Amino acid sequence: MTRFVRIDKESSLKTVLLNLDLVATVELAPQSDLLSSSGDSRKVYATFLAPDKTAIATLHFDSSSDANAWVKTHLGVEL
């Protein structure tokens, strides 16, 4: 059975469905200083990769603990 999670984009009417069965790898990376006007180094991006390392989705989280909690809730694993 295929598992999907709905992701509502902030400040947009767009919605994305992420097929969790395609996710083989999750990579966390800190937000670049170039992208952050506040300099908040706690913000992170989680990139979800297919088995062939193709990026399926990238989500922004306010902290690595938020990203870890999301992955644990939706994928059942801890980073």
Q: What is the pLDDT of residues 6-47, one digit of tens each?
A: 988 777 788 888 999 999 999 999 876 555 555 556 789 999
Q: What are the extents of the domains in the chain? A: 4-75
CA quadruple 70, 55, 1, 3: dihedral positive or negative? positive
Cβ atoms of residues 74 and 63 within 8 Å: no
Question: Residue 40 has what pLDDT?
Answer: 55
Q: Find, among 50, 44, 38, the residue nearest to 67 by Cα.
A: 44
Distance linking the first and last C-alpha atoms of the chain: 24
Q: The whole model's pTM is what?
A: 0.76
Tell me the one-letter amino acid at 76: G
Question: Residue 38 has what pLDDT?
Answer: 55
Question: Residue 7 has what pLDDT?
Answer: 86
Strand 4-8, strand 15-19: pairing:
antiparallel
